[in-house]
Amino acid sequence: MDNDKTKIINALGGKRGILDSGLPSLVFLIAFNVLHDLRGALYAAVITSALLTLIRLIRRDTLQHVLSGFVGVAFCALLARKTGQAVDFYLPGLIINVIYGTIYAVFNLLGLPVLGLLLGPILGENLAWRKVPERKRAYIRAGWLWVALFASRLIVQYPLYKSGNINALGTARLVMGYPFFLLAAWGSWMLLRAVPSVKAEAKEE
């Protein structure tokens, strides 16, 4: 089980991957409050993301999450610079939560939980969990945790975005970022570990 837990954490980007994806946003918020300049804050965020990518290259670490994070930060910066509104730096994140929340909910309702599709091959189950009702229900229940995560972020952060309160929005992003992500990951792990995996059946197929 501990080995499976490690595989799941690595699939989500690992502890370092989570840090790499969130640090530029923190730098942006701090820089904007210190400099009171949108362009300077955007440069600070992009440079931070670029440095994280460079460090990963030097260390020869996995680049998937940090590269996607760099592209995301660059896009957020371009959008905010184009509109001239600092809060628009956080708009893509809101849109992503809408997309992810919708996907997780729809696939759960279809009986094809996203977590099962993603983690099944990693845990050696492939798609054999679909034939075991208890295991399938565990993946679906875990999926609803993520739907709740994405929905809660939107409920809290969208009104802040509309009000233009960048400090409150940035703070909410931080508070509902790492802590909520880790809470959802922990809850998913607890739900999945309570039900035996179907590795034996997967190997027989």
Structure token digits, residue 102: 């919708």
**CA dihedral sign of residues 101, 103, 108, 114:** negative
Tally the C-alpha atoms within 13 A of residue 142's C-alpha that lie toward its C-beta.
26
Comparing CA positions, the residue from 52, 4, 2 lying closest to residue 26 is: 52
In the three-class reduction of DSSP (H, G, I as helix; E, B as strand; rest coil), residue 21 is classed as helix
Phi/psi at 28 (nearest 5 deg)?
-60, -45
46 close to 77: Cβ distance less than 8 angstroms: yes
Q: What is the dihedral of CA 10, 180, 148, 114, to 10 degrees?
A: 0
150 close to 158: Cβ distance less than 8 angstroms: no
Tally the C-alpha atoms within 13 A of residue 174's C-alpha that lie toward its C-beta.
13
Rounded to an integer, what distance in angstroms lies between the CA atom of residue 157 and that of residue 94?
Answer: 8
pLDDT at 16: 58
Angle at 46 between CA 171 and CA 90, to 5 degrees: 35
How many helices (H) does the chain have, and how many strands (E)?
10, 0
pLDDT at 11: 62
pLDDT at 161: 96
Amino acid type, 175: V
**Is the per-residue pLDDT at 201 higher than 60?**
no
Quote the domain boundaries for residue 17. Answer: 2-204
Comparing CA positions, the residue from 159, 21, 148, 25 lying closest to residue 90 is: 25
pLDDT, tens only, 27-78: 999 999 998 899 999 999 999 888 888 887 787 766 666 677 788 889 999 9
pTM for the full predicted model: 0.83
Amino acid type, 150: F
**Is the per-residue pLDDT at 94 higher than 80?**
yes
pLDDT, tens only, 144-176: 999 999 999 999 999 999 999 999 999 998 888
Q: Quick one: how far is CA 15 from the chain centroid?
A: 12
Q: What is the mean pLDDT of the chain?
A: 85
Comparing CA positions, the residue from 129, 94, 105 lying closest to residue 205 is: 129
Counted domains in the chain? 1
